[in-house]
Amino acid sequence: MALLSSSISSLLLQSSSSSSPSPSFRQVCDLRFTRRSIVSGVAAAAGTVAWPGSIAAVASSSSVALAGRVMAANVGDRQAAILATRRGMQLFSKGDVRGSVVEFDKALELDPQQKPYLWQRGLSLYYLRRFEEGAKQFRDDVAVNPNDTEESIWCFLCEAQLYGPDKAHQNFLQVGPDSRPVMRKAYELFRDGGDTKEVLLAVGARDAHDFFYSHLYVGLFHEAQNNTTAAREAITTAVASPYGARSGDYMATLAKVHCGCREWQVPGALSVTV
């Protein structure tokens, strides 16, 4: 998928100025949040942000069910939670992983209903090596958003660090099909094992976006197997690719954070605080 086309961006700008000036829509424009935010009124209204590139809508029925269990935040707190989430993402984008989690936790305190939508928090926890909390974040996310391949993969990545890849594989979260071919193949790699790596890389030859995603996830797969050499090769290739270098996609930032955390030298790697 190409990034937000300028026409979609301007549509969002229009909708944010004409009807709903909520920070969630401005967030969509500023940080290039994604199509799921656009198609999912529920996510946008709740101030949540979709995984880059995913179009799976957040299930509204789950939000309603959640509302019954968790006390709803008042409007002011919800707005403050949205801003804290936004600050967390900006800190992460500058390499301040530790600071990002402080903001994500602040968002949760202000609006506990956000919990299963804060996938960004799970990613930061991975880099802080707080794998148990990270795995819980992703498992909670899948409970409300059952077709998200990235939640499943990141849960596995956390649990592989905790229990080793074999045990993590036994508890692998099965999710429905992803609309993105490259993420379907990435999911299959983690579910079915290394033999499908070439298939993923072949899909990655389609365009710059898919090239980046295929290399990022091949690298993460190798990291889960404790194969640092192969992980480094794939993820630095992702960072150096045109999409990795210039897209502004949150996952492209993540790849730069990854290289910074592992002290892998590649142009664009971020200097990281963990």
The contact set with ligand NAG (CB under 6 A) reads 56, 59, 146-147, 176-177, 222, 226-230
Cβ distance to ligand NAG smaller for residue 6 or 174 = 174
Beta carbon of residue 207, minimum distance to ligand NAG (angstroms, whole number): 24
Least spacing, CB of residue 224 vs ligand NAG, in Å:
10
- Output the smallest distance, CB 56 to ligand NAG, in A: 5
- Closer to ligand NAG by Cβ: residue 86 or 215: 215
Q: Which CB atom, from 99 or from 146, has the smaller least distance to ligand NAG?
A: 146
Report the nearest approach of ligand NAG to the CB of residue 197 (Å): 7
Question: Closer to ligand NAG at the Cβ: 58 or 255?
Answer: 58
Long-range CB pairs of 1-7 (<8 Å, 24+ gap) are 1/35, 1/53, 1/180, 1/209, 2/207, 2/209, 3/32, 3/209, 3/247, 3/248, 3/249, 4/32, 4/34, 4/35
Token duo for residue 254: 């993540």
Question: What tokens does 25 get?
Answer: 């829509």
SS3 273: strand
Instruction: Name residue, tokens 């992702």.
Output: 238
Write the CB contacts of 12 (distance below 8 Å, at least 6 apart in sequence): 4, 25, 28, 29, 38
**Cβ at position 157, least distance to ligand NAG in Å:** 14
Contacts of residues 192-198 at CB distance under 8 Å and 24 or more positions apart, as own/partner, are 194/221, 194/225, 197/221
Residue 21 or 164: which CB sits closer to ligand NAG?
164
Cβ nearer to ligand NAG, comparing 41 with 267: 41
Q: What is the DSSP letter of 96?
A: B
Residue written as token pair 């290399």: 215
Q: CB nearest ligand NAG: which residue?
A: 176
CB of 118 to ligand NAG, least distance (A): 18
